[in-house]
Amino acid sequence: MNEHHAIAPTLSSQDIEPTGIPVQGGHISALTSESRSNVEKGYASLAIEVIGVTKEFDGGAVRALNGMDLRVERGEFIAIMGPSGCGKSTLLHLLAALDSPTSGTIRVEGQDLSHLPDPSRYRRQTIGLVFQLHNLLPRLSALANIEVAMMGSHRPHRERTVWARQLLSELDLADRERRHPPQLSGGERQRVAIARALANDPPVLLVDEPTGNLDSDASANVLALFARLQREYGVTTVMVTHDPAVAQAAGRILQMRDGRIGDPIGA
Amino acid sequence: MSTIVLLLSNIWAKKARSFGLAFAVALAVMTVVVLTVVSSGLESSAAAILKIGKSDFTVAQKNVSDVLFSYLDTHQLAEVRATKGVANAVGALIETERINAANPLFLEIGLPLDELTPFGVHVLAGRPYSANATHEVMLGWRAAEDMGLHVGDGFYANGTKNTIVGIYSTGISFGDLGAIFPLSAVQAYNRVPGAVTLVFVKVAPGYRIGEVEKRITYAHPELTTIRTVTQFGRADRNLVFLKAAATGSTILAVVIGAIVVGNTMMLSLFERTREFGLLRAIGWTRTRVVSLLLGEGMVLAVVGAAVGVGLSYLVTSILQALPQLAGVLHSNYTSEAFWRGLYTGLGMTILGTLYPALRAGFLAPLQALSHE
Ligand SMILES: Nc1ncnc2c1ncn2[C@@H]1O[C@H](COP(=O)(O)OP(=O)(O)OP(=O)(O)O)[C@@H](O)[C@H]1O
Ligand SMILES: [Mg+2]
């Protein structure tokens, strides 16, 4: 499963000094030869495959997804736009195996989500999810919120705090690590949630309105980070947004309407 | 942050609730430890009667409510004495009497003069009583010390005023807290000529104790032999009832405690639903969520149990200080009482936490996340 880890091999094999402290800032700039070569070899090149997926709620009264099809290449950065209530969050929840479709098939990184042997492990290792409403644990510090996501992961204990700090500084939150969510601004919370989604080096990142609470500078930083994760680590990113300017950061923009994908915009 | 720090910070975040839970555990543990300590104290002080003499085992009447109500007549004593393998058999008439407020259950032993030495009595001061004296007594050195009495002093007991002719030691504290009279004097006062309460048997060399015991009980189904404190518990029905009551109260304490703990945990589950949903959504396994809650419960249980043991100490001290109970209630802090307390605390917590913890682990993450 190592080829699924976009960031971990880099951090553990190249950036950890014998002391166990990663070289500051080194993990992002170093390239993961492994994950890139996997993409180049065309090895299971589809990261996400959604085939004829329908999701109904309330016994069919609400049809949030309606025969949806979607294919995302490994290492792609796509944006999904669409009116409120068209099923964007529902799609991300299904991709995160937090809910199952009424019908249809979803495969992520080659795994059929309806036959996951261990959904917890899938959520921990394969995907990083940023909810539309920042779901941080209010009683824990920003740092601890990230560390909690690593509990049960393969990362050695002594590296977790170091890595969580590094993620925070990557998101310009280095001086906020001890703050608790109620003491953080909406945008800061959003960024902590993004840092948490990256905690286990997921090959697939699912983000729901990541820039909803961010000003243009902060938005630009977060988008630059997504672009860098894609470019340098081959992370597949699916970003839901209602902001056309934000969507422009993605390589492909998809319009959703009434529970399915409309015509692609851009390339 | 490690899981254990997370666990402790969760406990700390809800101080009042955590305190309440630990307190419920402490009360249950206290109840159980007090009952255990007191019943074990009664058992050991009652069983100490068996140890007042040097013997391999003791013979008593079967099925008496209190071992001191045991009654063996001259005939039975003679037959026990004549049993093959018995080196000697000392019959003693034992009673308790209220001497004063501090000694509501003063131990009085009636022994024939010639059995004093085989019984293990050493005269420390004065002299032994004469064989058929009616107003002579020997006082145990601890009893003498407690009451400030000396050889030559008068001592009201066994229905009459006696003269203390000697101070003795048996080397066993319980025996040294009593008084020894000529057997005939105690028999006469209690109007039971020839009767004894217990027979202390010494087995002859070359014979197995168990074999001799069997021989006696086979020939006398109305008698029982006692070698250990446990066997004593079986011979004394009051103790049987007391221990049954202690066990019953333990079960009751565990059940009530589990309900209180369960209630608290259910409340916590509803309050923390979003938290558990989020943990599951970011990849925590069910097992991990269940363990987190069980772990929180366990920590509180251990703290509660420790407090409960401390409280039990306080309560037994207070009970023993009550004038009505002085000298009656003995506490015996055994490691058993301590473990029982810990098991009670852990048991009720596991019982009370398991269901809420499982519920937390099996929450559907999305629904839990949208929980208000
Ligand atoms: N648990 C649910 N029960 C019933 N209906 C639901 C549930 N979740 C979502 N829906 C409905 O499904 C539809 C799609 O919801 P979804 O949250 O996916 O929309 P969205 O595209 O993310 O909208 P927005 O841009 O406002 O976030 C909506 O009509 C919503 O009311
Ligand atoms: Mg949404």
Question: CA B69 to CA A56: how far, in whole Å?
Answer: 81
**Contact residues on chain B for A139, CB-CB shorter than 8 A:** 9-10, 13
pLDDT at site B194: 85
Residue A198 lies in a domain: yes
Gap from CA of A253 to ligand 2 centroid (Å):
17
A121–B283 CB contact, under 8 Å: yes
Gap from CA of A239 to ligand 2 centroid (Å):
11
Question: CA B183 to CA B198: how far, in whole Å?
Answer: 12
A125–B283 CB contact, under 8 Å: yes
Gap from CA of A245 to ligand 1 centroid (Å):
24
pLDDT at site A86: 92
Residue B233 lies in a domain: no
Residue ranges making up the domain that contains A133: 13-32+76-86+117-264
Domain count, chain B: 2
Same domain, B287 and B350: yes
Pairing of strands B57-61, A127-130: unpaired
Query: What's the token pair of residue A114?
Result: 């309806």
Residue A20, pLDDT > 60, answer: no
Residue B231 lies in a domain: no
Same domain, B206 and B117: yes
A135–B286 CB contact, under 8 Å: no
Q: Does B3 touch chain A (CB under 8 A)?
A: yes
Beta bridge partners of B91: B199
B282–A140 CB contact, under 8 Å: no
Residue B98 lies in a domain: yes
pLDDT at site B53: 65
Question: CA B273 to CA B280: how far, in whole Å?
Answer: 11
Residue A94, pLDDT > 70, answer: yes
Q: Does A174 touch chain B (CB under 8 A)?
A: no
Same domain, B304 and B202: no
Q: Give residues 98 to 127 of A whose Cβ lies within 8 Å of B.
A: 98-99, 118, 120-125
Residue A213 lies in a domain: yes
B285–A118 CB contact, under 8 Å: yes
pLDDT at site A37: 41
Please write the tens of the pLDDT for every residue from B317-337: 888 887 766 666 677 777 888
From the list A124, A125, A137, the residue facing B278 with the nearest CB is A137
Gap from CA of A217 to ligand 2 centroid (Å):
23
pLDDT at site B230: 63
pLDDT at site A16: 35
Tell me the residues surrounding ligand 2 (ion) with CB < 5 Å. A 89, 132
Same domain, B209 and B268: no
ipTM of the complex: 0.82
Question: CA B294 to CA B292: how far, in whole Å?
Answer: 6
Ligand 1 site residues (CB inside 6 A) read A 57-58, 62, 64, 84-90, 132
Picking from B21, B7, B6, B53, the residue whose alpha carbon sits closest to that of residue B266 is: B21
Same domain, B174 and B141: yes
User: Is this structure's pTM higher than 0.80?
Assistant: no
Residue A22, pLDDT > 90, answer: no
Residue A58 lies in a domain: no
B283–chain A nearest CA distance, Å: 4
Gap from CA of A31 to ligand 1 centroid (Å):
38
pLDDT band for A106, please (50, 70, 90 cuts). very high
Q: Please, are residues B145 and B125 in contact by the beta-carbon 8 Å criterion?
A: no
Same domain, B194 and B287: no
Highest mean pLDDT out of A182-196, B34-48, B251-265, B271-285: B271-285
Question: CA B296 to CA B12: how far, in whole Å?
Answer: 10
Gap from CA of B59 to ligand 1 centroid (Å):
84
Same domain, B267 and B323: yes
Same domain, B143 and B271: no
> What residue's CA is closest to ligand 1, atom 17?
A89
Query: Which of the 8 DSSP states describes residue B67?
Result: G
Residue A266, pLDDT > 70, answer: no
Which SS3 state, helix, strand or coil, does residue A125 take? helix
What type of residue sits at position A103? Answer: S
- Percent of chain B at pLDDT exceeding 90: 45
Q: Does A137 touch chain B (CB under 8 A)?
A: yes
Residue ranges making up the domain that contains B16: 3-45+239-369
Arithmetic mean of pLDDT over chain A: 82
Torsions phi, psi for A196 (to 5 deg): -65, -40
Same domain, B252 and B183: no
- Residue B85: count other Cβ atoms within 10 Å of its Cβ: 17
Please write the tens of the pLDDT for every residue from B142-174: 899 989 999 999 998 878 888 999 999 987 767
Please write the tens of the pLDDT for every residue from B176-198: 888 999 998 888 888 888 889 98
Give me the mean pLDDT over the B89-117 stretch.
87
Please write the tens of the pLDDT for every residue from A137-171: 999 999 999 999 999 888 888 899 999 999 999 88
Search chain A and give the residue with CA nearest B368: A98
B284–A135 CB contact, under 8 Å: no
CATH number at residue A139: 3.40.50.300
Which SS3 state, helix, strand or coil, does residue A157 take? helix
Query: What's the token pair of residue A122?
Result: 């899938």
Residue B52 lies in a domain: no
B258–chain A nearest CA distance, Å: 28
Question: CA B259 to CA B251: how far, in whole Å?
Answer: 12
Give me the mean pLDDT over the A2-16 stretch.
40
A265–chain B nearest CA distance, Å: 31
The CA-atom distances, in angstroms, between B60 and each of B93, B175, B179, B221, B230 are 11, 18, 21, 11, 14
pLDDT at site A36: 42
A129–B1 CB contact, under 8 Å: no
Torsions phi, psi for A180 (to 5 deg): -95, 155
Give me the mean pLDDT over the A55-66 stretch.
93
pLDDT at site B240: 76
pLDDT at site B213: 92
Query: What's the token pair of residue B138?
Result: 């020997």
> What residue's CA is closest to ligand 1, atom 12?
A64
Q: Give residues 282 to 311 of B whose Cβ lies within 8 Å of A.
A: 282-286, 288
> Percent helix, strand and coil across chain B, each rounded to 5?
60, 20, 25
Pairing of strands B86-97, A46-57: unpaired
pLDDT at site B215: 93
Ligand 1 atom nearest A259 alpha carbon: 14
Please write the tens of the pLDDT for every residue from B104-139: 888 899 999 988 888 888 999 999 998 888 889 999
Domain count, chain A: 1
Give me the mean pLDDT over the A225-232 stretch.
88
* Strand runs labelled E in chain B: 57-61, 86-97, 106-111, 122-126, 136-140, 154-157, 160-169, 179-182, 198-203, 223-226
- Percent of chain A at pLDDT exceeding 70: 81
Arithmetic mean of pLDDT over chain B: 87
Same domain, B141 and B194: yes
Question: CA A85 to CA B75: how far, in whole Å?
Answer: 101
Q: Which ligand is nearest to the CA of A87?
A: 1
Same domain, B209 and B247: no
pLDDT at site B218: 93
